[in-house]
């Protein structure tokens, strides 16, 4: 439960930095305000798609939303300067030590990213 509370606190902090209301945020990221408020008030873990949308909206990564740790490998300047082959190798190395839950979460994010990429490509065609 504490992780969920911290997650919602981070979302609120990011929302305040952006100076937007919960209603405005929910409209802009496409989540029903009532569902968002209900999940938040009950201190429940949001759906993975919500985490993805929050992260994309606020320009942070999902790990930060979940853990509060800002110094993640995704944000590391060295990681960004690596070639795509080096980044892929780094990601694969990290996945080899990941828990089943972390791998499942990555798979869901990849599915979401793939679905949104196809939707975007279809809309522009």
Q: Can you tell me the distance from the alpha carbon of 75 to that of 65, in angstroms, rounded to the nearest whole number?
A: 13
Kindly state whether residues 25 and 46 are assigned to the same domain.
yes
CB 53 within 8 A of CB 109: no
> Mean pLDDT score of the chain, rounded to an integer?
78
- 6 with 53, same domain: the answer is yes
User: Measuring CA to CA, how many Å separate 6 from each of 15, 47, 50, 56, 79?
Assistant: 14, 16, 15, 18, 27
Domain boundaries, position 3: 1-70
Higher pLDDT, 9 or 86: 9
Of the ranges 77-81, 97-101, 118-122, which one carries the lowest mean pLDDT score?
77-81
Q: What is the pLDDT of residue 37?
A: 92
Residues 108 and 59 occupy one common structural domain = no
Q: What is the pLDDT of residue 1?
A: 44
Average pLDDT over residues 25-38: 93
Range 20-46 average pLDDT: 92
Domain count, the chain: 2
Q: Specify whether 6 is located in the same domain as 54.
A: yes
Answer whether residue 116 shows pLDDT above 90.
no
**Does 66 lie in the same domain as 80?**
no
CATH (domain of 28): 1.10.260.40
* Spatial separation of the C-alpha atoms in residues 77 and 39, rounded to whole Å: 34
| Confidence at residue 120, expressed as pLDDT on a 0 to 100 scale | 57
Q: Are residues 19 and 35 in the same domain?
A: yes
Assess contact for 63 and 98: CB atoms under 8 A: no
**Is there a single domain that holds both residue 88 and residue 115?**
yes
- Checking if the pLDDT of 6 tops 50, the result is yes
Each residue of 49-87: pLDDT tens digit?
898 899 888 888 888 888 877 655 455 545 556 677 776
């Amino acid at each position: 439960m504490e992780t969920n509370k911290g997650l919602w606190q981070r979302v609120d902090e990011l929302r305040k930095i952006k100076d937007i209301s919960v209603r405005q945020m929910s409209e802009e990221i496409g989540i029903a305000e009532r569902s968002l408020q209900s999940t938040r008030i009950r201190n429940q873990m949001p759906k993975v798609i919500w985490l993805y949308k929050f992260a994309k909206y606020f320009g942070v990564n999902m790990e930060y939303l979940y853990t509060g740790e800002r110094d993640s490998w995704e944000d590391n300047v060295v990681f960004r300067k690596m070639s795509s082959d080096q980044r892929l190798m780094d990601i694969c190395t990290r996945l080899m030590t990941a828990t089943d839950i972390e791998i499942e979460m990555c798979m869901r994010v990849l599915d979401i990213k793939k679905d949104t990429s196809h939707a975007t490509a279809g809309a522009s065609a």
